[in-house]
Structure 1
Amino acid sequence: MLGSVYRAQLPDGKLAAVKKLDSRTAEKQKDREFIELVNNIDRIRHANVVELMGYCAEHGQRLLIYEYYSNGSLEGALHSDDEFKKKLSWNARIRMALGAAKALMFLHEVCQPPVIHRNFKSANVLLDDDLGAHVSDCGLASLISSRSASQLSAQLLTAYRYGAPEFESGIYTIQSDVYSFGVVMLELLTGRKSYDRTRNRGEHFLVTWAMPQLHDIDTLSKMVDPALNGEYSAKSLSNFADIISRCVQSEPKFRPQMSEVVQDLTGMIKRDRPSNESIGD
């Protein structure tokens, strides 16, 4: 939505991801505004946030240079690579959700002023060599908000279906990020895309299809990604579905804070992990 991303090799041999902002966005930004944006992004430092390594603002170009992750995005892992998808065990998926939740909690509840992501989706959750989750595009909300609400509504609600219902009215808050996070959790649970018109009618939109089934253990078990081969506990599955259900509530006030989500996911891992395994930061 914001531009193209390229893989680049730096002089020291290290790989980087270079985001080239699209021409419309670049033309609207003055140099001072872009530098201010870079400075704001550079302040967002967390283990689960993709680190900004540098930038370029010359010859009319607007480039942002980020860490590179060879395992690509969660979207690619779930929907584009069947062999890689087999590596995504149930516990690995819970850990991915937890890592992304920690990133959003940091943005919403630690950063001052709070940072709204505004474009949270599985394509913006990148995976490291240990399948740890790192959220990209943090701090770019000002670029997104420069587009008209109607354009964004069409893209997010129809094409991706990550946007919360209130976004149709041009409203986007921290709680809208929580909704988008719930959609990504649904992708982790089902292995389905947030919007897939190749499926039967009534199953195109993941949230619409899944929500009525989240509280029935029999129907819930039928929704689970077949790639998991049934290797998960019913209790863990039920807890995961409960978090999703709260995140994708149609009314923003009924959605949890991300700190609550982090606490719940951490509790799930503590209950399921072997005694000699640590959760990490």
Structure 2
Amino acid sequence: MTDVTLEELKAKVEALGEKVKTLKSSSEVDKDAIGAAVKELMESKLMYAEKNNGIGVDGKPYEAPMSKAEKKKKAKADKAKEAEASGKKETSNTANAAKKAAKKAEGKAKKAALKDTGGKPAAKTVVPVRQNIGNKSTLGSSSRNKLQPLQLSFNPNVPLTERPVVALSVAILTNTALDVNIVSDHQRHNGPGLGLPNGGEVLGDLAAARYLARRPEAAPAGGLSLLGGDDASSLAFVDQWVDYASSISRFPLSQKVAAVSATLDTALASATYLCGNILSLAD
């Protein structure tokens, strides 16, 4: 059989096919004869495909015959794959539609925002992030640069009202200015920050000023007296003036000057300092 040509095998397959049909249509069905003919037919088809690089007599890739149970199982698997592919396609289409809708809504929102701001992009709001350092909680800086103890950092591009002027004044008045290391940070957008010994960071000019005044190193120069000493009433009076200064710090210059002049003319009419008889944070 090794010398049989493809043409001969094809002719044999066709002849065996006719034989099987004849046996099946006979009035007296011979199952054994049909089985033998079918077996020989399958073997001939397989031999043809092997000699023809896997292509069968019908010109298609040869597939081994399957039983009814195998055919049913394959059909079920194919149907499941088709359903899965259809579901994925539908899900993908839905997701794409949702993305397009979201993008369209975002575009409309941006246009509306630009319209409300006269064509100028709306300013971004920087929200401080709460961090836990040791057993203390502190507001985190917008900068990625970690501050070392007594490093006083601020953005050099911000207005004077947003720089640590009060903290630096306290450092000078308490003779501890040399302890403070001033650093500029262009990534800082939520006010000045002062590094603490515990690895944390305190934000804000006034908060940094209060910390510097409370340091033991500031005591010889009267650091606590700048805050009002240890008397609750004196502390409250100092805080009152600090709150007042904070409230008008963002006023236009003309309004600020008018407010300060009117207030200080009365407060300092018969006194040298705003709180008590010594210089304090209020001044």
TM-score range, shorter chain: under 0.3
Find the structure with the greater CA-based Rg.
Answer: 2
Whose RCO is larger (CA < 8 A, sep 6+)?
1
Q: Write 1 or 2 for the structure with the bigger share of helix.
A: 2
